[in-house]
Amino acid sequence: MASAKEISNRIKSIKDTMKITRAMYMISSIKLRKAKKNLEETEPYFYGLQGEIAGILYRFPDAVNLFFDNREKDLKEKVKRRGIVVITGDKGMCGAYNHNVLKEAEKLIKDSKKYRLFVVGAVGRNYFYTRNYPLPRDFTYTATNPSIHRARNISETIIELYKKERLDEVWVVYTRMVNSMRSDVEIEEVLPLKQRKFARDEIIKRKQKAQMAHGHLKKLEDIDINVRSEDTDDTVLLSGSDMIIRPSVDDLIEKIVYNYLTGFIYGALVEASACEENARMMAMSNATDNADNILKDLSLEYNKVRQAGITQEITEVIGGAKALKSKN
């Protein structure tokens, strides 16, 4: 058994650690409140945008365009160059949050023959850097306090590469907050845009997702999606053909792509930062609880050791006294 001195040293060190974790818990709970407010404001836009885009694509006339990746030379390409946007945190100490995102991202990388990584957040950048993945040098964005400006910078970078045909697909790996207890890693293919025949599944998927999310999105349900069950592909084709598209199909598609990607990345950044703070808060509260438990055990042990010491001393004293008595 350890000596009383050793145990009391340990108790002291654990108490110090607990002070730190408790402080971090408080900080992250304040940050979480801010991130959650931001999330609440952004979520109608995030899901509304996705539903709207899917709805538009569903009704959109068939067009051959770079952003649909259906031009003749696109169809001939055997290997698609993937751009993978990975959104991680800037700091550790948040449980499995970063680990989960990175695991999914690595899986996706393994599936891709040609890829380009765009990593947001310092943790992810370090992770890929130490494992010798190629990273673009000028792509260094933080994950904390997401802003539409940062999202615009990121999406401009990506669309520029897409237009130069250095990328054929754009995937985003991020963490989405399902509810305050659960967050899931999501992998979404954002570009190329889905053509009509694929759009229907997409709409249904998005609708389910939006409904699964928080209650305040209920309002959106009836509006965001406009697929009627009696729609067959033919009627849609007909109704799609006399749609007014301004200023021109290509301009409109480009605008939609810019808006969609920027909006999507902004939404993903907001979701991810809320998840990160949430994960950190939970990790820190667990750490504080654990420290509490260890302290309880240690103080019991300390008391046992102390008592054992006292008992021993008493027996020694009594033994000594007895020995003296018998001498007399």
Among 22, 80, 99, 152, binds another protein (CB under 8 A): 152
Rule CB under 8 A: choose which of 70, 144, 226, 290 binds another protein. Answer: 226
Query: What is the nearest approach in angstroms of another protein to the Cβ of residue 8?
Result: 53
Closest distance to another protein from the beta carbon of 91 (Å):
25
The one-letter code for the residue type at 303 is N
Q: With binding defined as CB under 8 A, does residue 41 bind another protein?
A: yes
Contacts of 216 (CB under 8 A, 6+ apart): 40, 43, 44
Residue 244 sits in the site that holds another protein (CB under 8 A)? yes
Site string (100-139) toward another protein, x via CB under 8 A: ----------------------------------------
* Residue 245 engages another protein in binding (rule: CB under 8 A): yes
Residues whose CB is less than 8 angstroms from the CB of residue 159 and which lie 6 or more positions away in sequence, other chains included: 257, 258, 261
Kindly state whether residue 181 participates in binding another protein, applying the rule CB under 8 A: no
Q: Which residues of 259-271 are buried (b: 16+ CB within 10 A; e: fewer)?
A: ebbbbbbbbbbbb
DSSP-derived secondary structure letter, 226: -
How far is residue 277's CA from residue 177's CA, in Å, rounded to a whole number?
11
Residue from 259, 285, 295, 298 touching another protein (CB under 8 A): that is 259
Which position among 256, 294, 295, 298 is part of the footprint of another protein (CB under 8 A)? Answer: 256
Q: What is the CA radius of gyration of the chain?
A: 29
Binds another protein by CB under 8 A, chosen from 21, 28, 42, 88:
42
Given 11, 109, 148, 187, the residue binding another protein (CB under 8 A): 148
Minimum distance of another protein from residue 266's CB (angstroms): 6
Q: Give the footprint of another protein on residues 58-77 (CB under 8 A).
A: 59-60
Shortest distance, position 235 Cβ to another protein, whole Å: 13
| Cβ 100 to another protein shortest distance, Å | 26
In order of 134, 203, 240, 245, the CA distances from 51 in angstroms are 34, 6, 18, 19
Considering beta carbons, is residue 83 or 95 the nearer one to another protein? 83
DSSP H/E element including 266 = helix 249-327
Taken as a whole, the chain contains a residue count of: 328
Helix 4-59, helix 233-241: angle, nearest 10: 70
Binding residue for another protein (CB under 8 A) from 17, 36, 45, 214?
45
Positive or negative, the CA dihedral 102, 108, 114, 120 is: negative
Contacts of 235 (CB under 8 A, 6+ apart): none
Q: If binding is defined by CB under 8 A, does position 247 make contact with another protein?
A: yes
Choosing from 243, 310, 314, 317, the residue that interacts with another protein (CB under 8 A) is 243
**Closest distance to another protein from the beta carbon of 203 (Å):** 14
- Smallest gap from residue 301 Cβ to another protein (A): 54
Query: Which residues have C-beta within 8 Å of that of residue 13, sequence separation ≥ 6?
Result: none
Tell whether residue 200 is a contact of another protein (CB under 8 A).
no
State the number of binding residues for another protein (CB under 8 A).
37
Q: Which of 288, 280, 286, 263 is nearest to 88 (CA)?
A: 280
Coil, strand or helix: which one is 137?
coil
Dmax over CA atoms of the chain, in Å, equals: 122
Task: From residue 27, give the alpha-carbon distance in Å to each of 34, 175, 177.
Answer: 11, 21, 20
Q: Give min distance, CB of 198 to another protein, in A.
A: 19
Which positions touch another protein (CB under 8 A)? 41-42, 44-45, 48-49, 52, 55-56, 59-60, 148-149, 152-153, 156-157, 160, 219, 223, 226, 239, 242-247, 251-252, 255-256, 259, 262-263, 266-267
